Amino acid sequence: MAKTGESHVSHHDHQSCIQQALDTAANLCERRGLNLTPIRRRVLEIVWRSHEPIGAYQILAELAKERDKAAPPTVYRALDFLIDAGLVHRIDSLNAFVGCGEPTHPHIAQFIVCRRCHRVAEIDDPAINDLLTERSREIGFRIEPSSLELKGLCSDCEAAASE
């Protein structure tokens, strides 16, 4: 299971992780003929900075430190681009965003969201994708790249609740 919560990842070179995500995004956009503008790149970098879900207004606050005229539409347009390009996932239940660890292949992102602390873990299981795709075709649907959210308690919150 790929963990999104930084506090649960040991010996992680986060700066290298961010750089790899940015390099992958630049290569992917170039191959697809997409324009990864400096603002889009910066929003992606902010999203990737901690592996924790981040809201649009938190992103805006970061941009406002660097740019005088940062405004909500700027952030939302950048996020829309990044989602459409498969570089970022939206966590609907948290109204937040996380970077996609596998942007080179369209997939149904599978997330487990802790209902107490909001920690998010992505499962990226091809068998789940295949099953959902097969079942949707059987009933006459084509699933677009999207996300599936399952709610529960992470092990830390579960342990705290049982104490």
CA dihedral 66, 69, 70, 74 (to 10 degrees): -140
Query: What are phi and psi for residue 99, nearest 5 degrees?
Result: -75, 150
Residue 21 has pLDDT above 60, yes or no: yes
The fold for domain 2-162 equals Arc Repressor Mutant, subunit A (1.10.10)
More confident residue, 25 or 106: 25
> Using an 8 Å Cβ cutoff, are 54 and 96 in contact?
yes
Residue 76 has pLDDT above 90, yes or no: yes
CA dihedral 133, 134, 139, 140 (to 10 degrees): 60
More confident residue, 76 or 129: 76
Nearest 5 degrees, angle CA 119-CA 147-CA 124? 75
Six token digits for residue 15: 């700066």
If you average pLDDT over residues 128-157, what whole number do you get? 90
Query: What are phi and psi for residue 74, nearest 5 degrees?
Result: -60, -45
User: What tens digit of pLDDT does each residue of 52-69 get?
Assistant: 899 999 999 999 998 878
Give the pLDDT of residue 11. 64
If you average pLDDT over residues 8-36, what whole number do you get? 85
With pLDDT > 90 as the criterion, what percentage of the chain qualifies?
Answer: 62
The label of the residue with tokens 């790249």 reads 145
DSSP code of residue 43: H
Please, which residues bridge with residue 152 across strands?
Answer: 114
For residue 37, count other CB atoms closer than 10 A to its CB: 13
Distance CA 63, CA 58 (A): 9
pLDDT band at 79 (very low <50, low <70, confident <90, very high): very high
**Which residues in the chain belong to E strands, given as ranges?**
2-3, 88-91, 96-99, 109-114, 120-122, 147-152
Domain range summary for the chain, segments of one domain joined by +: 2-162
User: What tens digit of pLDDT does each residue of 86-95 get?
Assistant: 999 999 999 9
Distance CA 85, CA 79 (A): 10
Residue 38 has pLDDT above 60, yes or no: yes
More confident residue, 42 or 122: 42
The label of the residue with tokens 């950048």 reads 78
